[in-house]
A and B are shown apart, each in its own frame.
Chain A
Amino acid sequence: MSEQTTSGTASAARRHDDDIRLAEQGERWLATGLSCEPADRAGAEAGVRIAYALAGLPAPRHILWLGSPAAGALGVAMLRTGQRGGRRDEHIRQALEAQGARPGELELGRSVRPKVRTRPWAQARAALTAKLGGTGFARHWAATARRPWQQLTDQLATPLRTRIDADLAGRLSARAGQTDQVAELPQAAREALLDAIGGQHDAAWLAAFDSHPDVDGLARVAGSAGWWWAFEHVAVLTERPVAVHRDNLGRLHHGDGPALFYPDGFGLHAWSGMPITAEVAAELPHLTVERIRGEGNAEMRRVMLEHFGFDRYLRESGASKTQSDECGTLWRVTLPGDEPLVMVEVLNSSPEPDGTFRTYFLRVPPTIRTARAGVAWTFDLTEEEYVPLQQT
Chain B
Amino acid sequence: MFRQGDVLVVPIAREELPEGLMDAPRDRRNRMVLALGEATGHAHVLTGERASMLCPPDEPGRLYLLIEGYGRLAHEEHGPIALAPGAYKVVRQREYFPGAIRPVAD
Contacts and interface: CB of A to CB of B under 8 A. Distances in A.
Interface residues on A, range: 35 or more
Interface stretch (A15-23, A73-81, A174-182, A284-292): A15-23
Interface stretch (A191-199, A317-325, A359-367): A359-367
Interface of A: 1-2, 16, 19-20, 22-24, 26-27, 135, 138-139, 142-143, 146, 151, 246-250, 298, 302, 338-339, 342, 348-350, 360, 362-365, 377-381, 386-392
Q: Per DSSP, are chain A's interface residues mostly helix, strand or loop, or mixed?
A: mixed
B22 A139 contact: yes
A146 B38 CA distance: 14
Contacts, number: 121
Interface residues on B, range: 35 or more
Given A23-B28, A362-B95, A378-B95, A142 B39 contact: no
Q: Which of B77, B96, B103, B105 has the most CB of A within 10 A?
A: B96
Interface string B30-42: 1000000111100
Nearest to B105: A248
A49 B85 CA distance: 56
Given A1-B52, A20-B30, A362-B104, A143 B25 contact: yes
A390 B25 contact: no
B82 to A, nearest CB: 8
A16 B1 contact: no
Given A24-B28, A350-B79, A379-B94, 12 more contacts: A20-B26, A138-B57, A248-B40, A249-B105, A250-B38, A348-B5, A350-B5, A362-B95, A365-B96, A378-B93, A378-B95, A381-B8
Given A16-B30, A363-B97, A392-B79, A378 B104 contact: yes
A377 B25 CA distance: 28
Nearest to B58: A138
Nearest to A335: B98
Given A24-B28, A387-B1, A302 B68 contact: no
